A and B are shown apart, each in its own frame.
Chain A
Amino acid sequence: MATSRADLPANAEASLLKVRDLHTWFELRQWGFLRVGAVHAVDGVNFTLERGEAVAFVGESGCGKSSLARTLLGLHRPTRGSVRFAGREMQSLSPAELKAYRAEVGYVQQDPYGALPPFLDVRRILAEPLIVHGIKDRQERERRIRAVLEEVRLSPAEEYLGKFPHMLSGGQQQRVVIARALILAPSMIIADEPVSMLDASVRVEILNLLRGIQARRELTLVFITHDLSTVRHFAERIFVMYAGQVVESAAVDELLDHPQHPYTQALLAAIADPDAANARRLREVPAGEPPSLIQPPTGCRFHPRCPHAMAGLCDRDDPPDFTPRENHLSACWLHR
């Protein structure tokens, strides 16, 4: 690896990722220069991920989970707050260090066909990250490409190397996407709804593949989804997001069995369906509209839709994280 990992101080003791008070706002401008407001896509998020941990971020669409993923990938610049990866502050990385950081974090996208350049074949698609990171030796590249294809169970590799994305099935395309995320040997994978555009029949396969690779490589896996049915099997911890903030977090079983925040409770109540196929699936959101991210509600973001809202408190003050149960955080005034 030409851009050496040594650029980032490897501190095995510390947590891999520490996110503190992270804000990602998108400024709205009129006539190209007048600031008229901002979309508060990520608005004060805190969490810590350990090495080898698999976590899930859930929430309805527009809650900021994808913006959070892109901020962690360095695709969006945080407006405020800190992201520390392996002990280094991301904001202070030099361009070379940022490039090294990008080799450390793999990205698996939602739409596998769109995620692959249609005019390149599989060999070239997988070679690109290696070329970008300065691996000039053809044989070395070829060896790594074959190894990673075997790892995502596209074997024999020869059969796939010369194929263009449109010649592959959706599941195979997503395997190529995963292979591309793995080829630089990252220590963290961010998967943004990795199976939501796939056929139901291949979803489990892809999730099992990701889980297997995560366990084997001891990767940190950030799994972003709106599909609660898969979460229990593929994540150890859940973060529930609402309007750009994490409102509740706990270990998977703890959170699904004992939801504390009214929003989580409403979510789970909405899917209390005896049909096994629909179980744990986020179908309906609680009554009311998701809040505007341009002018978020004052106080608790959920208070306009909350059945337990307390006038004079919830609509005025931001709730801090409370600990209603052991290792279970919930940002709600009910737990005060």
Chain B
Amino acid sequence: MIGARWREHWEELRRYPSALVGMAIIALLVGLSLYTVIAIPYSQALEKWRGGEPWQLHPVNAAPVWLDRLTGGREARTLIASSEDAEVEEVPFEGGRRLRIPLEVDYDYAGFPSELNLFLHAEGHPQRPFARLAWQTPDGREIALGGHRIGREDRISLSQDRALERRLGGLVPHVGLLADPEIEGEPQVLPGRYRLLLDAVVFDDTAGIDAELVLYGRVHGIAGTDHQRRDLSLALMWGTPVALAFGLLAAVGTTVTTLVIAAVGVWYRGWVDAVIQRLTEVNMILPLLPILVMVGTLYSTSIWLMLGVVVVLGIFSAGIKMYRAMLLPIREAPYIEAARAYGAGNLRIVMRYMIPRILPVLIPTFVTLIPTFVFLEASLAVLGLGDPVLPTWGKVLNDAQSQSALYNGYYYWVVSPAVLLMLTGLGFAMLGFALDRIFNPRLRSL
């Protein structure tokens, strides 16, 4: 039975370590894809990847945490102190209240944070509240940070305060505020408890102020973040199902159509074959990439449109010539003649007797074809023709390139999508080569 034959192939496949490694890699990628699709729904991923609001508590261009672990340093993680956890002192007066909100953080990282922001929300006030800010260090110094009128949604970028920077002796505030004043030269972190004291005057009896002090870290998550504070792990994770789906669909689409058309041409011969061959020859000299660039530039860069164009242009690809060469002798096989003699129709002969004959030889080719389409999709994205909304590996690379990631030393930004791409190529290639040895008896080692 057919099942026995496949079991036989499986037994044989197990004898090739490269096949096992390849299948393990593919299983890993498939598992990651499934997890991603379930854990982060498609619409949510698109929404988040658009950037902005969801990411305001993430640092900019932070390295992955494991990179810090690897170098043994203790780089800053992001610390958040919220007024919800603080003990707020209230002193009422005629026409309003005085609020004293202490925002405290314990800082004992070796490195400085990358940025300091204070987020203030004041809802339901008839008049904008006024706040005076003071920074208290563990060694008892107090640094005045000035006064602010608080709007409904306010962000005070302490790191951007030029005046403060001058007062701190030319150190950017997120360094100067945490530096040990006793140490000359290169600033060092003074570990301990820091407090941002918020003295506010509100002109209402009930409405309060929400405050959040964020000390942005220099490392974040397993993949780091990009210039828009977006967590790269989102793109790397969502890039996996997108890449696999694109590669698989493109490979299936081109292989199946090409095979059927080649078989139809071989079977009917005459003008049908002539038309197919001429179309193939014309298509072979049409360059795929520039056409995709043109479609992307003039029409749309949707990944599914690109997939369609790749498949349509792949129908009359060079594969037709190869399949035709394989099918021509099969057409003349006596069993085909026997099938005609007992009355099998054209469709049955093409689909049931000719194509299955070369299917085993095509399986390895098909498997190694998948990563080439994955790479094609990444190349398009690097060229700036990636899907405008979908997070993919190629788009991460594109962002990295446009932000000069390597020049700025953000290696992780380029390396992690590249490693995933290489892993995909490696997995399918290792499996494909092993399959080639099994299905292509001439390559079989004894």
Contacts and interface: CB of A to CB of B under 8 A. Distances in A.
A118 B356 CA distance: 10
20 contacts: A32-B274, A75-B340, A99-B343, A103-B343, A105-B341, A109-B337, A114-B334, A115-B334, A117-B335, A117-B339, A117-B353, A119-B356, A119-B357, A128-B352, A129-B342, A132-B343, A132-B345, A164-B5, A180-B342, A184-B342
A121 interface: yes
Interface string A71-85: 001110000000000
A305 interface: no
B39 interface: no
Contacts of B4: 162
Contacts of A110: 334
Contacts of B338: 107, 109, 115, 177, 180
Contacts of A32: 274
B341 A102 contact: yes
A227 interface: no
Contacts of B341: 73-75, 102, 105-107
Given A118-B357, A121-B2, 17 more contacts: A103-B343, A105-B341, A106-B342, A107-B341, A109-B334, A109-B337, A115-B334, A117-B353, A117-B356, A119-B357, A128-B339, A128-B352, A129-B343, A132-B345, A132-B348, A133-B343, A184-B342
A110 B334 CA distance: 9
A200 to B, nearest CB: 22
Interface string A159-182: 000101000000000000100100
Contacts of B356: 117, 119
A121 B1 contact: yes
Nearest to A75: B340
Residue of A74, A75, A111, A128 with most partner-chain B CB within 10 A: A128
Contacts of A98: 343
A114 B335 contact: yes
A293 interface: no
B268 to A, nearest CB: 14
Interface residues of B, number: 23
B286 interface: no
B325 interface: no
Contacts of A111: 334
Contact of A132 (B1, B274, B333, B344): B344
A295 B251 CA distance: 51
Q: DSSP majority for the B interface?
A: helix
Q: DSSP majority for the A interface?
A: loop
A42 interface: no
Residue of B339, B342, B348 with most partner-chain A CB within 10 A: B342
A106 B338 CA distance: 9
B217 to A, nearest CB: 60
B302 to A, nearest CB: 40
Residue of B5, B343, B345 with most partner-chain A CB within 10 A: B343
A68 interface: no
A121 B5 CA distance: 10
Contacts of A164: 5
Please give me the 5 A-B residue pairs with the lowest Cβ-Cβ distance, nearest first: A102-B343, A107-B341, A114-B334, A129-B342, A115-B334
A110 B333 CA distance: 12
B342 A107 contact: yes
A177 B338 CA distance: 9
Interface in B318-350: 333-335, 337-345, 348
A102 B343 CA distance: 6
A73 B337 CA distance: 10
Residue of B335, B337, B356 with most partner-chain A CB within 10 A: B335
B342 A102 contact: yes
Contacts of B1: 121, 162
Contacts of B333: 114
Interface in B214-230: none
Contacts of B342: 102-103, 106-107, 128-129, 132-133, 180, 184
A58 interface: no
A333 to B, nearest CB: 38
A21 B333 CA distance: 30
Nearest to A130: B342
Nearest to A102: B343
A116 interface: yes
